[in-house]
Amino acid sequence: MNKKLEGKVAIVSGSGRGIGREIALKLAADGAALVINDLDEKMAAGVVQEIVDAGGRATACCGDVTAPEFATRFIDTALDSFGRLDIIVNNAGYTWDNVIQKMTDEQWDAIMAVHVTAPFRILRAASEYFRRAAKEETAQGVEVFRKVVNISSVSGVMGNAGQANYSAAKSAINGLTKALAKEWGRYKVNVNSVAFGLIKTRLTEATAGDDATINISGNEIKVGVNQQLMQNLETLIPMGRAGTPAEAAGAVYLFCIPESNYISGQIVICGGGRP
Q: Give the pLDDT score at 180.
A: 98
Which residue type is seen at 76? D
For the segment 232-268, what is each residue's pLDDT rounded down to a tens digit?
788 889 999 999 999 999 999 999 999 999 999 999 9
The C-alpha atoms of residue 121 and residue 68 are separated, in whole angstroms, by 8
**222: DSSP letter:** E
- Confidence band of 222 (pLDDT split at 50, 70, 90): low
Q: Give the pLDDT score at 108.
A: 98
Strands 225-226 vs 189-196: parallel, antiparallel or unpaired: unpaired
For the segment 111-139, what is each residue's pLDDT rounded down to a tens digit?
999 999 999 999 999 999 999 999 999 99
- Enumerate the domain spans of the chain: 9-270
> Is 9-270 assigned to CATH 3.40.1190.20?
no
In our burial notation (b when 16+ CB lie closer than 10 A, e otherwise), range 34-71 reads bbbbbbeeebbbbbbebbeeeebebbbbbbbbbeeebb
The C-alpha atoms of residue 60 and residue 70 are separated, in whole angstroms, by 13
Q: Give the pLDDT score at 251.
A: 98
pTM for the whole thing? 0.93
For the segment 55-96, what is each residue's pLDDT rounded down to a tens digit?
999 999 999 999 999 999 999 999 999 999 999 999 999 999
Q: Give the pLDDT score at 208.
A: 46
- Over 50: is that where the pLDDT of 171 sits? yes
The C-alpha atoms of residue 197 and residue 154 are separated, in whole angstroms, by 5
> Which of 16, 67, 18 has the alpha carbon at shortest distance from 45?
16
Average pLDDT of the chain, as a whole number: 93
Residues facing 35 on adjacent strands? 11, 59
The C-alpha atoms of residue 12 and residue 19 are separated, in whole angstroms, by 10
Q: Give the pLDDT score at 223.
A: 64
Active centre residues (catalytic): 166
Q: How far is CA 184 from the centre of its chain?
A: 19
- Over 90: is that where the pLDDT of 45 sits? yes
The C-alpha atoms of residue 115 and residue 96 are separated, in whole angstroms, by 12
Mean pLDDT calculated for residue range 187-201: 96
Instruction: Let me know how many helices (H) and strands (E) the chain has, helices first.
Output: 9, 11
- Find out whether 166 and 95 touch, Cβ atoms under 8 Å: yes
Mean pLDDT calculated for residue range 32-48: 98
Mean pLDDT calculated for residue range 37-54: 98
- Find out whether 15 and 44 touch, Cβ atoms under 8 Å: yes
Which residue type is seen at 91? N
